[in-house]
């Protein structure tokens, strides 16, 4: 009996020792010993693709809104010839601002010249890809080629003005020579060639040409 009690005491003691010292938790680390990954799981390929597509869609929508805003003043002006005349006035207004600068306003001259280049560049693109093309179909080829030829000199003036230091005393006289040339070009279009064109086209053709012109303008807006 004594032996049983002693044995039992030993057994109880052994049992208490086992209960008091719980087994350590299993180690979840990978076999290479690195710590398990925690935090947000990485996105799936599908999520990445959907996110990229959404970003592209938002960007395209914003770009379309911007283009529409740039082209809106031209579109609101009405028929193609009136719209082009409105763009002529807008370009001349930028010339006015540049001519108010002096040699100390080099940075402002650069900004305004960039604005002028964009405005006239878009305007010329519209004319060359719709108006002058229609002009040739109306057997006004010589006039269309003449106007297109003058657009080449517009590019030359922009090149020369861009190459010259903005504080060069010769910069503003060069700009004024540019304005004189382009005003003559504008008057020829507005006072002679565009009215002749408009009269040769039917109402539907004039409306169609207006749509064509705006389509071309939106490409560079």
| Residues 169-213 pLDDT 10s | 999 999 999 999 999 999 999 999 999 999 999 999 999 999 999
**pLDDT score of 10:** 40
- Domain range spanning residue 128? 66-220
Is residue 28 assigned to a domain? Answer: no
Question: pLDDT category, 71, cuts 50, 70, 90?
Answer: low
Count of domains for the chain: 1
C-beta separation of 212 from 75 below 8 A: no
Query: Torsion angle of alpha carbons 58, 59, 63, 69, nearest 10°?
Result: 40
How many CB atoms are closer than 10 A to CB 220?
A: 16
Is residue 73 assigned to a domain? Answer: yes
The kind and range of the H/E element at 181 are helix 171-188
Is residue 6 assigned to a domain? Answer: no
pLDDT single digits (tens) 115-144: 999 999 999 999 999 999 999 999 999 999
Residues in the chain: 221
Is residue 43 assigned to a domain? Answer: no
What Rg, from alpha-carbon coordinates, does the chain have?
38
C-beta separation of 122 from 216 below 8 A: no
**pLDDT score of 148:** 98
Is residue 213 assigned to a domain? Answer: yes
C-alpha 179/C-alpha 91 separation (Å) is 10
Question: pLDDT category, 46, cuts 50, 70, 90?
Answer: confident
- The two three-digit tokens of residue 179, written as one number: 């304005």
How many CB atoms are closer than 10 A to CB 208?
A: 15
Is residue 134 assigned to a domain? Answer: yes
Is residue 187 assigned to a domain? Answer: yes
CATH assignment of the domain containing 197: 1.20.120.520
C-alpha 194/C-alpha 127 separation (Å) is 11
Is residue 31 assigned to a domain? Answer: no
């Amino acid at each position: 009996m004594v032996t049983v009690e002693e044995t039992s005491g030993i057994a109880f003691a052994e049992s208490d020792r086992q209960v008091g010292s719980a087994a350590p938790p299993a180690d979840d680390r990978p076999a290479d010993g690195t710590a398990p990954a925690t935090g947000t799981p990485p996105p799936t390929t599908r999520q990445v693709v959907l996110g990229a597509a959404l970003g592209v869609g938002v960007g395209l929508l914003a770009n379309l809104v911007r283009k529409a805003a740039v082209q809106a003043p031209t579109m609101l002006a009405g028929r193609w010839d009136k719209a082009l005349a409105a763009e002529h006035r807008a370009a001349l207004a930028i010339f006015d601002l540049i001519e108010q600068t002096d040699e100390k306003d080099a940075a402002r001259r650069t900004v305004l010249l960039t604005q002028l280049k964009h405005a006239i560049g878009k305007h010329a693109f519209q004319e060359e890809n719709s108006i002058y093309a229609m002009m040739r179909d109306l057997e006004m080829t010589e006039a269309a080629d003449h106007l297109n030829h003058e657009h080449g000199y517009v590019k030359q003036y922009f090149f020369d003005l861009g190459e010259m230091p903005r504080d060069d005393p010769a910069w503003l006289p060069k700009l004024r020579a540019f304005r004189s040339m382009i005003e003559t070009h504008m008057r020829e279009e507005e006072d002679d060639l565009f009215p002749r064109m408009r009269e040769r086209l039917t109402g539907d053709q004039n409306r169609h040409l207006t749509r064509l012109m705006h389509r071309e303008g939106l490409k560079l807006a």
